[in-house]
Amino acid sequence: MPTAYDIADAIADRLAALDLTALALLEEQYQGILDRLTLEIERLEQDIEAQPKRGQWTQRRLAALKDELHRILMQWADDASTIIELEQDRALRNVRDETRNLIIGSLGDVPIGARLPGIIVPVEALNSLIGFLGDGSPIRGYFDDLADSLSERLVATYLDGMARGLGPKQIGSQVRAITGEPLHRAQALARTATNNAYREAQRRIFEKNDSLIRRWRWHSTLDSRVCVVCWAMHGTEHPTSERMATHWQCRCAMLPITATWRELGFDVDEAPQPPIETGPERFARLSPAEQRAILGPGKLALYQQGKLQLNDLVGIYDDPIWGTMRHEIALKDLK
């Protein structure tokens, strides 16, 4: 029988595969947007070349460009939101069965004389998660801000380049460096939106079955891509009323901590559970080179001197989209 860890890892793999499809779709679609942005910018270059007196004319031309860039980006935002919604929807489609298996896996083998307790699925609470991204959601606002700030920065880069006497080629390459940003941010959003919707659905199932599920445990793969926050959080226990307040693009899972068979009212002998090694305990066993790759040299030095624990690096902030989230505290901000 697979353990809860195996099941959690299988879920993470499935979500990651979904992610890849959505990320590729977003990229494919953004290519068209990039072509249009580039075309607008090239047109501007030609117009500027052809214009002997610039001044006022340039201001007007740049204002028109800014509006056009904004319009193109907002059209893209509609399509990108649809891709993200579909991905979330696909992730949520399996959440009931997968969470059920996860709970059963956590209960362990059913002892003789016991039977599996029923698991209640809060259908309405799960349905309300679909459309997490509908009109009026903070994700719409995120795309609005993205379109605003990008069109403004593109124009500012232009003005700045011209003021510094740069040629169209140099300015063009600076501008192109910015135009890739919306895609990366949309991809980060897609990943975070899917994982957060999935985890929140799980949490609602955990919460609904509180006689069976006592708490949830933070589970990280602790591979080379895992950040300091998740190294610190791995193994921590949380009430089922608490959302998993993690960082953008986190791949960690919530594992249910189930009641023992005895607590569930069956008079059976149970093997004692092996203790869970926490993230900081496991981190302490890594080689200095591995620790350095995760912490960086400055923080590693403090860690080695015993002046810094992993937990000291976990900060909490209020994210405009996701509410309470965690982030890694920068070296300069450590008290």
222 binds Zn ion (CB under 5 A): no
Cβ atoms of 69 and 157 within 8 Å: the answer is no
# binding residues, Zn ion (CB under 5 A):
3
Beta carbon of residue 2, minimum distance to Zn ion (angstroms, whole number): 22
Backbone angles phi, psi at 315, to 5 degrees: -105, 155
Q: Please give, one letter per residue, the 3-state secondary structure of 41-63.
A: HHHHHHHHHHCCCCHHHHHHHHH
Beta carbon of residue 217, minimum distance to Zn ion (angstroms, whole number): 13
Task: Select the residue interacting with Zn ion from 12, 18, 250, 308 (CB under 5 A).
Answer: 250
Angle (CA) 47 53 56, round 5°: 85
Shorter beta-carbon distance to Zn ion: residue 12 or 77 = 12
Beta carbon of residue 219, minimum distance to Zn ion (angstroms, whole number): 9
Stretch that binds Zn ion, among 131-139, 182-190, 242-250, 261-269 (CB under 5 A): 242-250
Cβ atoms of 240 and 85 within 8 Å: the answer is no
Stretch that binds Zn ion, among 25-33, 174-182, 248-256, 319-327 (CB under 5 A): 248-256
SS3 219: strand
Write the CB contacts of 110 (distance below 8 Å, at least 6 apart in sequence).
116, 261
Segments of 250-290 assigned E as strands: 253-258
Shorter beta-carbon distance to Zn ion: residue 7 or 41 = 7
Task: Select the residue interacting with Zn ion from 126, 230, 308, 314 (CB under 5 A).
Answer: 230
Contact track, Zn ion, 148-167, x by CB under 5 A: --------------------
SS3 308: coil
Shorter beta-carbon distance to Zn ion: residue 214 or 327 = 327
Q: Which residues bind Zn ion (CB under 5 A)?
A: 230, 250, 252
